[in-house]
Structure 1
Amino acid sequence: MPHIYTVGQILELRSAPRHSNRPSGPCEVLSCLPHDKGPVLYRVQSLNERNERVVEEVDLTPSSATKSAAAMAESRFSIAVNRR
């Protein structure tokens, strides 16, 4: 079964069933995890916290949320090169 969502996409994460502290709200897909059987999994990061989580595709829905300019600037990085 192929992944429906793509890396970088902003989605809504449903709150977890009982006995979990996973918050609901907007999140960004960081990676699509490989699988042979079982549920389709994604690694996501909530836009409201720094934790990364692995969630099933059924816990995600399309969102109209977008990343803030500050969050977009923070996610970019540069590589410094030392020259001798």
Structure 2
Amino acid sequence: MGRPNYKVGDMIVLKSGLTRTAKTDKRCRIASILPNDHGHVQYRVQFAAENFERRITEADIDAGESPSSASPEAVAKTDNAAPWLTFSSIKIRK
């Protein structure tokens, strides 16, 4: 339960009752993965018709309608990824 099952850019479907009306589209795109909150994976998602992001947990996603795209091997690779800034690559001029 502590590992994310989805990655940034995936389209997911939220469970019923999380959006204001039943007529709204429950499909949204994952914008970022947030730190775990007491063992629950959190995501920041955005609907196509909205200009703001929402915070949801893994329990808010309808797993039956949302394909799980991140395999455990892919998640393990992203956990050990190198940082985008390495201090050895910084050159200081004198």
TM-score (norm 2): 0.53
Name the structure where strand makes up a greater proportion of residues.
1
Letter paired with 1:15 = S
| Superposition deviation, residue 25 in structure 1 | 1.0
Instruction: Write the deviation string for residues 16-70 of structure 1: whole angstroms up to 9, x where unpaired.
Output: 46xx73855110000010125242110000123223100011111316xxxxxxx
Name the count of aligned residue pairs: 61
C-alpha spacing 1:41/1:12, structure 2 compared with 1 (3 Å): same
Distance 2:55 2:25 in 1: 14
Task: Give the percent of matched residue pairs that are identical in Structure 1 and Structure 2.
Answer: 34
Gaps of 5+ in 1: 64-84
- Asked which structure has the greater CA Rg, the reply is 2
| Superposition deviation, residue 9 in structure 1 | 0.3
| Residue 55 (structure 2) pairs with residue 54 (structure 1) | yes
TM-score (norm 1): 0.58
